[in-house]
């Protein structure tokens, strides 16, 4: 007999130790890789925040325009569409549950004024209005000037119905999110998506943006406080945020490369122990 009960115990103990060491080494994550808003080289107490983004109306946008006045019946002629009520689900695109489908992506498009390819909308009685390039506040003032002919003390509210962003990659809830208030920052958007997973690369978050008919690719380091001065701090409508997976996710996904070194090491030690036992006996 080349081995005994004691040798078998040694073999099992060796395999267990190697597996534990391999798991520990693969699980180690440097705190600097996951901590947000770390101090820079100059350790700023304050930092200048990027200028707030004011969205402009573009062809293809869908606008909610509601008109009011002292005469509700007269105002109703200018309100051919009733904006769909915004709920907490379709406003944020939250999932219905773990693995559930997004309410934002499944919702029916709210009725509104579609901006055509020439940047124009049609409003009853008023007719065609060039809206492309205007902000919602600017369009509101334009409409009020047109409406004073028909209404006494008109009020106008203009909102985007299709202001949305896409969040992909290593976040808890990747989805398309509809933004009701026309303004959102990158940290707010990632929080809305449930934050990055432990495997997400925080130092190289990609923001893809449409700019003058081209795709613009920008990178943001969430570990640094310089994020607040980045042109990608405020997100634009139709921005795509992609969180790249780190080495930990790749190692965890590829089971072959994860388990193979442990198996080979264990087999090597088994061979050594068997050889040693053979020599001793």
**Range ranked top by mean pLDDT from 82-86, 221-225, 267-271:** 221-225
CA angle 233, 234, 235 (to 5 degrees): 110
Q: Which run of H or of E encompasses 277?
A: helix 255-280
Q: What are the tens digits of pLDDT across the range 123-173?
A: 988 999 999 999 999 999 999 999 999 999 999 999 999 999 999 999 999
* Separation between Cα atoms, residue 155 and residue 143, nearest integer Å: 9
For domain 62-160, give the CATH number: 3.30.1950.10
| Tokens found for residue 170 | 């290593």
**Which residues are 62's β-sheet partners?**
114
Q: Select the highest-mean-pLDDT range: 77-86, 107-116, 219-228.
A: 219-228
Q: What is the mean pLDDT of the chain?
A: 78
Residue 233's pLDDT is what?
A: 96
* pLDDT beyond 60 at 216: yes
Q: Give per-residue burial for 84-99: e unless 16+ CB within 10 Å, then b.
A: eebeebbbbbbbeeee
Q: pLDDT band for position 36 (50/70/90)?
A: confident
18 or 229, greater pLDDT: 229
Cβ atoms of 35 and 203 within 8 Å: the answer is: no
Q: Is the separation of the CB atoms in 69 and 154 below 8 Å? A: yes
Look at residue 102 and tell me whether its pLDDT is greater than 80.
no
Which of 9-23, 57-71, 83-97, 184-198 shows the lowest mean pLDDT across its residues?
83-97
pTM above 0.85, yes or no: no
d(CA 201, CA 243): 6
Decide if pLDDT at 20 tops 80: no
Q: What is the CATH number of domain 34-52+164-245?
A: 3.10.560.10
Phi-psi region of 146 (alpha: psi -120 to 50; beta: other; left: phi over 0): alpha
Q: What integer is the mean pLDDT of 255-280?
A: 61
pLDDT(276) > 90: no
Check whether 104 has a pLDDT greater than 60.
Answer: no
**Confidence check: pLDDT of 207 > 80:** yes
Contact 184, 235 (CB under 8 A): yes
Domain coordinates in residue numbering, the chain: 5-30+250-280, 34-52+164-245, 62-160
Tell me how far apart the alpha carbons of residues 191 and 172 are, in angstroms, rounded to a whole number: 9
H or E segment at 105? helix 103-106
pLDDT at 88 over 60: no
| pLDDT for the residue 106 | 37
pLDDT at 30: 56
How many Å apart are CA 60 and CA 210, to the nearest integer?
13
């Amino acid at each position: 007999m080349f081995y005994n009960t004691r040798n078998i115990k040694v073999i099992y103990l060796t395999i267990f130790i190697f597996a534990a060491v391999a798991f520990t080494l693969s699980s180690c994550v440097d705190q600097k890789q996951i901590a947000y808003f770390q101090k820079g080289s100059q350790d700023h107490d304050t930092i200048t925040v990027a200028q707030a983004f004011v969205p402009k109306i573009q062809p293809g946008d869908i606008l909610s325009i509601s008109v009011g006045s002292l005469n509700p019946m007269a105002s109703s002629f200018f309100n051919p569409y009733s904006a769909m009520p915004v709920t907490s689900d379709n406003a944020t695109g939250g999932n219905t549950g773990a693995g559930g489908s997004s309410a934002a992506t499944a919702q029916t498009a709210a009725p509104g004024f579609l901006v055509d390819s020439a940047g124009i909308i049609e409003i009853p009685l008023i007719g065609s209005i060039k809206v492309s390039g205007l902000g919602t506040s600017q369009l509101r003032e334009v409409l009020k000037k047109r409406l004073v002919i028909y209404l006494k003390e008109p009020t106008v509210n203009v909102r985007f119905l299709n202001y949305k962003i896409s969040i992909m990659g290593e976040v808890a809830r990747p989805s398309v999110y509809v933004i009701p208030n026309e303004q959102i920052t990158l940290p707010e958007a990632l929080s809305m998506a449930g934050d990055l997973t432990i495997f997400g690369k925080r130092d190289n978050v990609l923001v893809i943006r449409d700019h003058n008919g081209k795709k613009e690719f920008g990178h943001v380091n969430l570990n640094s406080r310089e994020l607040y001065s980045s042109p990608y701090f405020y997100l634009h409508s139709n921005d795509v945020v992609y969180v790249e997976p780190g080495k930990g996710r790749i190692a965890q996904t590829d089971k072959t490369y994860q388990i193979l070194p442990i198996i080979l090491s264990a087999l090597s030690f088994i061979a050594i122990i068997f050889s040693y036992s053979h020599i001793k006996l």
